[in-house]
Amino acid sequence: MTLCVAQVTNISDAENIVAELAVALSSQRVYGVHHQRCQEAMRRLTKLLRQSLTAGPTLRFQASDGLIAFDGIPLSNNNRLAQLSSLMEDRQCAGLEFKRDTSTRDIEQLLTWLCDRRADAVLPAECSITILERDDNESEDEESDELQQYAARFPEFRVPLRLYKTAAESMRRSMARARRGEQLEIDELTDLAHYVADEIFSGANGLLGPIQLVRMDSYTFQHSLNVFLIATTLLRPFARDVRELATLAQAAMLHDIGKSRIPKEILHKTTKLNDEELALMQQHTRHGAEILMEHKNISPVAIEVAYCHHMRDGGFGYPQPDLPFKPGPVTRIVQVCDMFEALTAPRPYKSGMPVPEAIQVIATTPGMAEREPALSLLMWHLTHTPPGSHVVLSTGEKATVVTPRPDKPRSPVVRVFTDKDGEPIDEPRLTDLGETGSVVKEVILRPGAVGLSS
């Protein structure tokens, strides 16, 4: 995510160029490309290019995840830059290359292409602007390769892994749409919720497997996705049928949608937030409720979860309601899952907290006393060797749980993937511990974390 600008050494020049492009894009989306405001912005941009670039060199910039930078320094971020970056990502575009003789017509063609919803839309061949390939193609390919490798090694998880990838892509698109101020694709999210609910309602607890197996980028949507899958698994007893579980699942899925309106420099900050930044971050619950209230087909429980999932009893947490109010049972479960995922998941700036320690932190957090039933439900799923759990056997071998036995949690069906010395074996073998006499010695709920003794 670096901005490389040939012959432009002044960061203010780079900021002005990118800002004018963002203004032109915003004007085009609101008023149309032929509106006076958009035309003026395009003329200012072409003038800046001619002033900033000498004959021959080109200007190149790259953007991702709502951020645009110059020589590694993030430019002043605002909603317009986030909108520009998001549209570029939607177009599988990592950057744009401008020449000194870029014309207003070229800019107009670029704006039309960025805003075109057709998947096969392309820039006209005569346009002088070059589209750069996405830098994160390699990481996305690595994600896909990783999923394929896991599916090959653990065939029992093919369906959950495919669903996990589909859900990740849907969450990524939803966060991007919300960040741009667009309506969410409710039908798509509803279909996804039904898909997950159907798997869980039918007893396929394997959806927890990918959370244990797969390591993806730690973006906000990734956290939301993990909370969505964990919470939906826990919410199964509260639903009478698949449709009702899908409604609850959608509420868990969208609990953090309000973070799409939080400045990226705050959302991705790797050090402690100051008081002002913390106050802005806490606004995501209000933003989330506002976003969801704009959609007629959203369940009221989703709005409650988005608004209340950081609200605790006794006046703790946020936001502080004007009237006495307590979060409902669905919100309490999502809240516990939210805290658990945030504490145990590794981030670029921290390692994941050991599971027992995370459970203790949640249980002793002020205002969480009435979350004990939800916490107990989470603990039951975790300590009963859920599918996908990494385990150490009494033989010293390591394995992944395929089929748990709630009545005999130490003797599930597993797929052994290392020998007793911890060396990977070529072909992981399916083993029923109930027939071999060996048992689970330790459950490692997150690879690399301290396990829970079984």
Q: How many residues does the chain have?
A: 454
Q: For residues 357 and 452, what is the distance between their CA atoms, to the nearest angstrom?
A: 10
pLDDT along the chain (454 residues), means of 10: 43 78 80 85 88 65 61 53 70 79 90 81 86 54 52 62 72 82 82 77 57 51 81 87 89 92 83 90 94 90 95 90 79 94 76 82 92 86 70 88 79 89 85 90 57 43
Torsion of Cα atoms, 21 then 25 then 26 then 32, to 10°: 140
What is the reported pLDDT for 162? 62
Single out the residue of 219, 174, 171, 168 nearest to residue 1, CA to CA.
219
Token pair, residue 362, equals 């949640």
Beta bridge partners of 405: none
d(CA 31, CA 37): 8
Q: Report the distance separating Cα 397 and Cα 114, nearest Å.
A: 52
How much is the CA Rg of the chain, to the nearest whole Å? 25
The long-range contacts involving 112-121, CB below 8 angstroms and separated by at least 24 positions, are 112/28, 112/33, 114/25, 114/84, 114/87, 114/88, 115/25, 115/28, 115/29, 115/87
- In order of 17, 47, 213, 273, the CA distances from 42 in angstroms are 10, 9, 48, 38
In 3D, which of 327, 353, 331 has the Cα closest to residue 340? 353
Could you give the dihedral angle defined by the CA atoms of residues 397, 403, 409 and 410, in that order, rounded to the nearest 10 degrees? -20
> How would you classify residue 271: left for phi > 0, otherwise alpha for psi between -120 and 50, otherwise beta?
beta
pLDDT at 136 (0 to 100): 43
Distance separating alpha carbons of residues 413 and 430, to the nearest angstrom: 7
Q: What is the pLDDT of residue 218?
A: 44
Report the C-alpha gap between 218 and 299 in whole angstroms: 28
**223, 341 contact by CB (below 8 A):** yes
Q: What is the pLDDT of residue 138?
A: 40
To 10 degrees, what angle do helices 104-115 and 79-90 make? 70
Separation of first and last alpha carbons in the chain:
44
- Residue 98: how many CA atoms within 13 Å on its side-chain side? 32
For residue 50, what pLDDT is reported? Answer: 83
